[in-house]
Amino acid sequence: MADSAKFLETVKTGYTFKGEFFKLGSAMLDGQVVTGADVLLPFKTLNRHGLIAGATGTGKTKTLQVLAEGLSAASIPVLMMDIKGDLSGIAAAGTVNDKITERCQKLGIAYTPTASPVDLLTLSEQKGVRLRATVSEFGPVLLSKILGLNDTQGGFVAMIFKYCDDHKLPLLDLKDFIKVLQFVSDEGKAELEKTYGKISTTSTGTILRKVIELQQQGADLFFGEKSFEVDDLMRISGDGRGMISIVRVTDLQDRPKLFSTFMLQLLAELYATCPEEGDMDKPKLVVFIDEAHLVFQEANAALLQQIETIIKLIRSKGIGIYFCTQNPMDVPAPVLAQLGLKIQHALRAFTAADRKVIKQTSENYPETDFYKTEDLITQLGTGEALVTILNEKGIPSPLVHCMIRPPQSRMDILSDMEIDALVSHSKIANKYNEVTDSKSAYEILTEKLEDASQKEAAQKQEAEEEKEEKKSSKKEKGFFDDPVVRSMTRTAGNTIVRGLLGVLGLGGRSRRKSLF
């Protein structure tokens, strides 16, 4: 009993805040919910990022729903990556059952089925608002890191961007970039080398192969117009709730490079676009990245460094990033160190490697006198988790075993008809779903090359015609029409005539002389 009283006091002290907060659930001790031991999340520190981890079937997705609902109700916009396709139910009201009723009674809360305001977004041909970005918006540094280029190749990409800027060649999609790459390594090579330096054919070939690899993962659907404006992720619905934008990426599980490309570009765009905010009472946007291992498993060292830098700095923009994954070790240690909120669902110890991960995971949490963390991680029930968060002073709160409240939205996916209705009522679908192909580097260079080709063909044709005309002229004039021949003929003719006349004259004079 003394332990229970001490535990209750510890929880109340550690989870009492001056600002607004959201009730995640209630703390548990010895497997039982402790009345009055509310686990609260202060909105003020939710820009300090977080981690939601746990084995399959332990309740991570439902925790995501609960957090998204609570943030939306507090007028905080939310962006979620839906890898498995089971988050769309947030847009529909939930239904009551015996398990939900029992859990709400233990937590001392009322259950009110509620649908949240949702926009479905997509990177592919799935139903939803299309997400796109131009190659120019990526910039040479980010594009080089995504392609996994070395410093020399990255410098060449920077040169291509500089050339396109100087010659007003918009880089909108990958075909633009490929066209410029082919141009500078062939027809335009001499022109570029005069101004920008030596061009390596080996580098251009390597970069081209890397771009084609990215295309094979469906990147052509993502690069292009109309670019998605990040301000549309931070909208408030008509009833004052924050919009929940769900990016449907169920078809990208086998294309991790495209997924990580999109995520990094989005984070970079958010960081570049949003102004510095300092300390805010509420975040401007909270981003949940489900199956976060897909972001990191294909990332090289340079890309990981970029992610770490953005995570460190973006919180000053009022934006919180939350990674959701099965194994907390999927998140690199430098990034893990930046995450203030940790919600750890159960892990399973089937092998020695699993036990090692559990031991490492337990060491990442604050020490506690009330739990043996390493053992408790394997004993957590569905919808239960170990929780710790930074308080308003930036100090980690006590570690608690928490029973999490149930979502008020549907814990299942939407039907096709419901998805169609949701997309048709979207206020931004018409803005982004119209396909646009503006005149850009591909068209400009194609026209330039075609003009050059036509001029070359015309010059060649003209030369052929002149040659033919000369041949034809010679055939029409004949042998005796040649000036040299004519001159020779006249000389020979005069000689003959003079000879004949000379003979005739001599003979005439002789006859005249004999006659007289």
Grouped pLDDT means (10 residues each) for the chain, 516 residues:
80 88 93 93 93 92 94 96 87 93 94 94 85 87 84 89 88 89 81 78 88 85 86 93 90 70 83 87 92 75 80 91 90 89 92 86 88 92 94 88 95 90 90 74 72 64 72 58 55 51 44 39
Residue 3 CB-half CA count within 13 A: 7
Note whether residue 336 is domain-resident: yes
- Match 């970029």 to its residue by tokens: 306
What's the rounded Cα separation, in Å, for the pair 283 and 43? 7
DSSP assignment letter at 234: S
49: three-class secondary structure by DSSP: coil
Structural domain boundaries enclosing 249: 2-132+225-433
Residues with Cβ within 8 Å of residue 168, at least 6 apart in sequence: none
The reported pLDDT for the residue numbered 219 is 82
Euclidean distance between CA atoms 163 and 144, whole angstroms: 16
Query: Would you state the pLDDT for residue 514?
Result: 43
* CA geometry: angle 374, 379, 380, nearest 5 deg: 105
Question: pLDDT tens across 404-433, in order?
Answer: 999 999 998 889 999 999 999 999 988 888
On whether residue 180 sits in a domain, the answer given is no
Q: Are 3 and 18 in contact (CB under 8 A)?
A: no
CA angle, corner 383, sides to 380 and 386, nearest 5?
50
What is the C-alpha separation between 142 and 491, in angstroms, rounded? 85
Quick one: tokens of 140? Answer: 């040479």
Contact between residue 25 and residue 2 where contact means Cβ atoms under 8 Å apart: no
pLDDT at 482: 57
User: Taking the CA atoms of the chain, what radius of gyration do you get in angstroms?
Assistant: 39
Which residues, 6+ apart, have CB-to-CB distance to 60 below 8 Å? 52, 53, 54, 324, 326, 345
Considering the domain boundaries, does residue 503 fall inside one?
no
| CA 230 to each of CA 78, 117, 131, 253, 508: distance values in angstroms, whole numbers, following the listed order | 12, 18, 10, 24, 118
DSSP 12-27: HHHT--SS-EEEEEEE
Query: Which strands form 285-289's sheet, in the order they lie side by side?
Result: 32-42, 21-29, 400-404, 384-388, 341-344, 50-53, 319-325, 285-289, 78-82, 244-248, 118-122, 129-130
Calpha distance 114→68 (Å, rounded): 12
From the list 130, 122, 220, the residue with the least C-alpha distance to 174 is 220
Q: How far apart are CA 68 and CA 402, in angstroms?
A: 18
181, 140 Cβ separation under 8 angstroms: no
CB distance 402 to 25 below 8 Å: yes
Q: Is residue 361 included in any domain, yes or no?
A: yes
Residue 122 maps to a domain? yes
What's this model's pTM, rounded to 2 decimal places?
A: 0.81
Instruction: Decide if 451 is inside a domain.
Output: no
Q: Would 351 be classed as within a structural domain?
A: yes
What is the C-alpha separation between 282 and 44, in angstroms, rounded? 5
Q: How many domains does the chain have?
A: 1
Distance, CA of 203 to CA of 211 (rounded, Å): 12
Q: Which of 142, 224, 140 is nearest to 176 (CA)?
A: 224
Task: Tell me, yes or no, whether 212 lies in a domain.
Answer: no
Three-state SS string across 405-464, please?
Answer: CCCCECCCCCCHHHHHHHHHCCCCHHHHHCCECCCCHHHHHHHHHHHHHHHHHHHHHHHH
Report the residue count for the chain: 516
Q: Taking Cα atoms as reference points, which of 137, 300, 149 lies closest to residue 211?
A: 149
pLDDT digits (tens, 9 = 90+) for 347-406: 988 888 888 889 888 888 888 989 999 999 999 999 999 999 988 888 899 999 999 999
Helix (H), strand (E), coil (C) string for 64-113: HHHHHHHHHHCCCCEEEEECCCCCHHHHCECCCCHHHHHHHHHHCCCCCC
Backbone phi, psi, residue 78, to 5°:
-135, 140
Alpha-carbon distance 119 to 426, whole Å?
Answer: 6
Q: Select from 76, 98, 174 the least CA-distant residue to 133.
A: 174
Q: 324: domain CATH number?
A: 3.40.50.300
Terminal-residue alpha carbon distance, the chain: 179
CA nearest neighbour of 399 among 426, 380, 427: 380
State the Cα–Cα distance between residues 155 and 330, nearest whole angstrom: 31
Is 325 in a helix, a strand, or coil? strand
- 3 state SS of 340: coil
The pLDDT of residue 487: 58
